[in-house]
């Protein structure tokens, strides 16, 4: 849930009964990538029972655990309630920021695994990398790492082979890396 302090917004999450306060504002690339992912899924899932959600939606996973993922998809309508989502989404995406990387790779990953989120992506916008974890026998397995190679002068480099992958949880949805990382500012 979003709270204010000294006229600044920050995000409060709870994992295993411990409050986690995210006070660092997201960087430009963080917001660009999560908006791009939302657009990709929203276009594909139009008129579908599955619904994509962007940031600022509370997801209650256990009695003492709720999070506000950067992006997620829920296909079970019964999990949708006025105050947020109650139960594990089908897919969760976290876009890394320096202040959240440890939690996204640690406590959140463990929580998502424990409650049965089928697919979990960790996206590093500055490195233009997507890690895809799939739940197999109740354990996350790194299925693949997708990256835009350094030799690409820009992600719009049309002379090279397109970089894309099919989303495991949503057959028929092919994601192009250039769409995920469109407008990301590189150093």
pTM: 0.89
Q: What are phi and psi of 130, to 5 degrees?
A: -125, 125
Could you report the per-residue pLDDT of 44-95, keeping only the tens digit for each? 999 999 999 997 899 999 999 999 999 999 999 999 999 999 999 999 999 9
Instruction: Tell me the percentage of the chain whose pLDDT exceeds 90.
Output: 72
Could you report the per-residue pLDDT of 134-156, keeping only the tens digit for each? 999 999 999 999 999 877 755 55
For residue 184, the number of C-alpha atoms closer than 13 Å in the C-beta half-sphere is: 27
Q: Which domains, from first to last, does the chain contain?
A: 26-180 (3.90.1570.10)
Sign of the Cα torsion 159, 38, 102, 142 reads negative
């Amino acid at each position: 849930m979003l709270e204010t302090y000294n006229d600044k917004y920050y995000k409060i999450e709870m994992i295993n009964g411990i409050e986690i306060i995210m006070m660092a504002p997201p960087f430009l690339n963080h917001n660009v990538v999560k908006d791009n992912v939302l657009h990709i899924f929203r276009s594909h899932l139009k008129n579908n029972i599955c619904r994509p959600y962007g940031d600022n939606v509370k997801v209650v996973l256990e009695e003492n655990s709720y999070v506000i993922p950067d992006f997620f998809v829920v296909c079970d309508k019964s999990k949708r309630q006025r105050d947020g989502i109650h139960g594990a989404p089908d897919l969760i995406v976290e876009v890394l920021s320096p202040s959240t990387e440890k939690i996204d790779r640690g406590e959140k990953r463990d929580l998502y695994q424990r409650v049965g989120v089928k697919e979990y992506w960790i996206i590093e916008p500055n490195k233009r990398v997507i890690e895809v974890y799939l739940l197999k026998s109740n354990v996350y397995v790194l299925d693949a790492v997708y990256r835009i190679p350094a030799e690409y002068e820009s992600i719009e480099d049309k002379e090279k082979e397109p970089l894309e992958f099919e989303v495991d949880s949503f057959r028929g949805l092919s994601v192009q890396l250039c769409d995920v990382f469109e407008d990301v500012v590189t150093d």
